[in-house]
Structure 1
Amino acid sequence: MTALENNPRLLASAQIVMRLAIGFLFAAHGWQKFSQFTLEGTAASFTQMGVPAASIVAPVIATLELVGGIALILGLATRIFGALLALDMVGAIVTAHAQAGVFVADGGFELVLALGAGAAALALMGPGSWALDRLFVGRKSALRESINA
């Protein structure tokens, strides 16, 4: 057994560190698409990269990254947003970054891969005990117990 398996507090700490870091970066990238690049600029960039239906995809991705990032920070719908953001990064790798190689300085996929892996890890392991998800899961468990009693 690893230290994480033997220490629930250590696991919860690792999960919150992951949620805060990955969530912050996604929220920042989503905000950047709205404020710095603008949705029109993001759509134009997506079109140039060959993203299909870029004018529809750009606001969807910007919103997913902003809202999903904030949700990860809060630990709200963590598994759902983790999975959606991981798929977002798979799409980014395939459409924009794979052909540029690994390194981000060359337009490569290293940052996108790290963000996608972090999001996938959160989708798989959940938010940890210090998350808003736990409030809702706790209520569902209590409701299930009262119904079964």
Structure 2
Amino acid sequence: MEKNREIGAFLLRIVLGVTFFAHGLSKFQGGIDNVGGWFHQMGIPSFLAYVVASIELVGGVAIILGLGVRIISVFYVLIMAGAIFIVKLPAGLTGNGKMPGYELELSLMIIAIYLVLNGSRLLAIDSLLSKIKGSVQVAQN
């Protein structure tokens, strides 16, 4: 049972990491200044476009590698909550014909919450570092 949970958490971690990496990369490739302008139009400081895109991009790689999964997932929860409540809520869950809904953001937020609560140790750098730290402590005693 534990093995199945770890496989499930691993799959969620990889999907979350790849998705956020792709979204961060597209923000930079599409012109981060344009994203900053869009943020400004919504009343969000433009510099936050750089912060969000960087967290998405770098965090995506880290999540895939299993490094800082819980911490990065907290940032993803905050980013998705902001996207839902500031941008997507008026369009509803599935959209309103003018704009897509917040179903993707909600799904990504729930995956991130799962990883905040449970982590993901399978094939994760965090797990390897924990084992190394444990070995060093045992050797010192």
The equivalences for 1:4-43 within 5 A come to 7-36=1-30, 38-43=31-36
Equivalent position to 2:112, from 102, 114, 119? 119
Deviation of residue 69 (structure 1)? 1.1
Correspondence for 2:66 among 75, 97, 100 = 75
Provide runs of 4+ in structure 1 moved above 3 Å: 143-147
1:40 maps to amino acid: D
CA shift, 1:82, in A, is: 0.8
- Residue 89 of structure 2 is aligned to residue 103 of structure 1: no
Contact 1:50 1:95 in 2 (8 A): no
Match for residue 85 of structure 2 among 94, 97, 105: 94
Task: Deviation per CA, 1:17-75: give whole Å up to 9, x if none.
Answer: 10111111110000010002x11110011112221x22x10111000001111111111
Name the counterpart of 2:38. 45
Corresponding residue of 1:3: none
User: Structure 2 residue aligned with 1:65, among 56, 73, 87?
Assistant: 56
How far apart, in 1, do the equivalents of 2:79 and 2:139 lie?
A: 39
Opposite residue 118 of structure 2, the aligned amino acid is M
Is the Cα contact below 8 Å between 1:23 and 1:70 reproduced in 2?
A: yes
- Separation in structure 1 between the aligned mates of residue 36 and residue 100 of structure 2, nearest angstrom: 18
Length-normalised TM-score, structure 2 = 0.90
- Calculate the TM-score normalised by the size of structure 1: 0.86
5+ long unaligned stretches in structure 1: 1-6
| Structure 2 unmatched ranges of 5 or more | none
Aligned Cα root-mean-square deviation (Å) = 1.5
Whole-angstrom distance in 1 between the partners of 2:25 and 2:67: 19
1:142 pairs, out of 119, 135, 141, with 135
Q: How far off is 1:127 after superposition?
A: 1.5
Q: Distance in 2 between matches of 1:137 and 1:103?
A: 42
User: Residue 128 of structure 1 aligns with which residue?
Assistant: 121
